[in-house]
Amino acid sequence: MDLIQLKRYLRERKITPLQDAAYHFKVDVETIRPLLNVWIAKGKVHKRSETGGACKGCCKCDPATVETYEWID
């Protein structure tokens, strides 16, 4: 996986949980975060703060399952 592959994945999905991207590329979430940070620095990706209403804030879930990113065109 490289920056271009991640870009294509994010552009196709618009919004994706970090865990889904890691599963898609068959890598650990810590492998994807630095690449996401590159796109965030370029202003092309935004880390979403809301969790879609399913999360009630109990902190029992793995943060990677509720951490979402959005591609900005």
What domains, with CATH codes, occur in the chain? 3-71 (1.10.10)
List, for residues 61-70, the tens digit of each pLDDT value: 665 567 899 9
Most distant pair of Cα atoms in the chain: their distance: 36
Tokens of 64: 């990677």
Strands of 1-73 (E only): list them: 15-17, 45-48, 68-71
The predicted structure's pLDDT at residue 67: 87
List, for residues 1-57, the tens digit of each pLDDT value: 899 999 999 999 999 999 999 999 999 999 999 999 999 999 999 998 765 555 556
What's the chain's Rg over C-alpha atoms?
A: 12
pTM, whole model, 2 decimals?
0.78
The predicted structure's pLDDT at residue 33: 94
Torsion-angle region of 26 (φ positive above 0: left; ψ -120 to 50: alpha; else: beta): left
